[in-house]
Amino acid sequence: MWIYEKKLQYPVNIKQKDLQMAKFLLAQYGGPDGELSAGLRYLTQRYTMPTGKSKALLTDIGTEELAHVEIIATMVHQLVRDASPEELRKAGLGGYYTQHDHALYWSDANGVPWTASYVQSQGDPIADLHEDLAAEQKARATYERLMSLTDDPDVIDPLRFLRQREVIHFQRFGEALDDVQFNLNSPKYY
């Protein structure tokens, strides 16, 4: 199955508290277009892909998205570490603190809890791959907006890495779409 190394895919070492940024980052933690949704989407869709190449790609990218969840969780944790209840309240995280203290919880930047309805699996490989392409573009756009909300290089650096991975995933899903369409359009001889 997998070998798990007890280190992040990309290092995170945030030195300054930034509760607003932590709140914004929740979009990629438990939001509809966030890393958890992407990972679960791809790991579910892989079962109905018609080629070994497309199944493997969805497995690989889905697994990587779970590593991205870990990066985002680490960033949020480091940004709120040692924040007082009053600081959290002033940052608009009072309700979050009330229910979860400093623990991480699957919600988006507006406090809306994550739901399985964010994840779609049609069983149609063409439709699913098009959805995956769109998901990667939405994640890329979100990372770009997140980077514009901070000037902290310790926050921007891992966000830049994550944004670039979304670009690579988009390219790989495009290749998978070509592979699947070629396979589906090839004459079958029995």
Give the active site residue among 5, 64, 65, 175.
65
Active site annotation includes 131: no
Q: What is the pTM of this model?
A: 0.93
DSSP secondary structure code for residue 109 in this structure: T
Residue 181 CB neighbours (<10 A) = 13
- pLDDT at position 186 is 83
Among candidate residues 70, 87, 130, 169, the one labeled active-site is 169
Alpha-carbon gap, residue 46 to 164, rounded angstroms:
23
d(CA 26, CA 110): 8
**What domains, with CATH codes, occur in the chain?**
19-185 (1.20.1260.10)
Q: How many other C-beta atoms lie within 10 A of the C-beta of residue 86? A: 10
Q: Which residues contact 36 (CB under 8 A, 6 or more apart)?
A: 29, 30, 65, 66, 69, 106, 114
Whether residue 175 lies in the annotated active site: no
Which residues contact residue 185 at a Cβ distance below 8 angstroms, ignoring those fewer than 6 apart? none
User: Rounded distance, CA 180 to CA 175, Å?
Assistant: 9
pLDDT, residue 3, reads: 77
Q: One of 5, 70, 130, 136 is an active-site residue; which one? A: 136
| Both structure tokens of 138 | 């939405």
Residue 10 · residue 57 · CB < 8 Å: no
Can 144 be counted among the known catalytic residues?
no
String of DSSP letters for 45-93: HGGG-SSHHHHHHHHHHHHHHHHHHHHHHHHHHHHHTT--HHHHHHTT-
Q: Which of 68, 70, 100, 130 is catalytic?
A: 68
Residues 6+ apart with CB under 8 A from 179: 51, 53, 54
SS3 for 107?
strand
The answer to whether 87 is a known catalytic residue is no
Query: pLDDT tens per residue, the chain (190 residues)?
Result: 667 778 999 999 999 999 999 999 999 999 999 999 999 999 999 999 999 999 999 999 999 999 999 999 999 999 999 999 999 999 999 998 999 989 899 999 998 999 999 998 999 999 999 999 999 999 999 999 999 999 999 999 999 999 999 999 999 999 999 999 999 888 777 7
Relative orientation angle of helices 35-45 and 125-148, to the nearest 10 degrees: 160
